[in-house]
């Protein structure tokens, strides 16, 4: 989410929204995010659910709002 926030701050609004939607698309069936995402296996890993991940989603949603 930090990358989406930086893109928004640099005026790249469409890129920020696209990245935000991509992250939301990686949530599990009940909408939760893990601490990490394995790009090779295309699955979430690490601590689950991760509060800091959800906090970042909320802050980014507010910023993009």
Q: Write the pLDDT tens digit of every residue in 30-53.
A: 889 888 889 899 888 888 877 888
CA–CA distance, 12 with 5 (Å, rounded to integer)? 10
* pLDDT recorded at residue 48: 81
Closest to 62 (Cα-Cα) out of 12, 20, 3: 20
Query: Residue 48 half-sphere exposure, CB side, CA atoms within 13 Å?
Result: 13
Helical packing angle, 51-64 and 2-9, nearest 10°: 20
63 falls in which pLDDT band (50, 70, 90)? Answer: very high
């Amino acid at each position: 989410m930090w990358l989406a926030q930086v893109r928004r701050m640099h005026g790249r609004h469409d890129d920020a929204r696209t990245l935000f939607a991509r992250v939301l698309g990686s949530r599990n069936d009940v909408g939760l995010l893990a601490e990490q995402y394995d790009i090779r296996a295309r699955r979430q890993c690490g601590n689950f659910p991760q509060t800091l991940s959800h906090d970042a989603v909320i802050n980014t949603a507010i910023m993009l709002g």
